[in-house]
Amino acid sequence: MTSPNPTTTPDSPADPAPKPTRRTFTTEYRNNTLDEYNNAPHGEKSAVLRREGLYQSQLREWTQARTAAAGKSQPKSASSPDNDIATRKEMARLTRENARLAKQLTRTEAALEIMGKLHVLLESIS
């Protein structure tokens, strides 16, 4: 004989804790919170998170969703100084590379011009 499942017996007490529900946030709330967080001074960003009961990972996901919804255009308030520094470094690197390649192109064109003149000279000699 099998023993009955204790959760289905009429004598078992009901579960006292209701099942937790996930919080949902409107787009307006998300955007307002993101703007407030991004505009907060360096030492007060965590205060915004504590007050709203949020985690930084949530704001990161919201920012990614907002940028994807805006067609990959990042709003000015969401740009960080780290991104600006990285952009400037990349721009400087590309400028140096462009100058190096332009110099190499000038040398290559000069060499081709000399080779062409040499070819014409050798043709005229033979």
My answer on whether 43 and 58 are in the same domain is: yes
My answer on whether 64 and 51 are in the same domain is: yes
Residue-number span of the structural domain to which 61 is assigned: 24-78
Phi, psi of 21, deg, nearest 5: -110, 145
> Considering its fold, how many domains does the chain have in total?
2
Residue 34 buriedness (CB in 10 A; 0-12 / 13-18 / 19+)? buried
My answer on whether 32 and 56 are in the same domain is: yes
Does residue 117 belong to any structural domain of this protein? Answer: yes
Does residue 30 belong to any structural domain of this protein? Answer: yes
Does residue 48 belong to any structural domain of this protein? Answer: yes
My answer on whether 31 and 57 are in the same domain is: yes
My answer on whether 52 and 96 are in the same domain is: no
Does residue 7 belong to any structural domain of this protein? Answer: no
Does residue 97 belong to any structural domain of this protein? Answer: yes
Q: Is 117 helix (H, G, I), strand (E, B) or coil?
A: helix
Return the pLDDT at 51: 93
My answer on whether 95 and 73 are in the same domain is: no
My answer on whether 71 and 87 are in the same domain is: no
Please write the tens of the pLDDT for every residue from 76-100.
555 667 778 888 999 999 999 999 9
Tokens at 97, concatenated? 């590379």
Threshold 0.75, pTM exceeds: no
My answer on whether 88 and 123 are in the same domain is: yes
For 98-107, b where at least 16 C-beta lie within 10 A, e where not — what string?
A: eeeeeeeeee
Return the pLDDT at 86: 85
Mean pLDDT for 18-27 is 87
Return the pLDDT at 126: 85
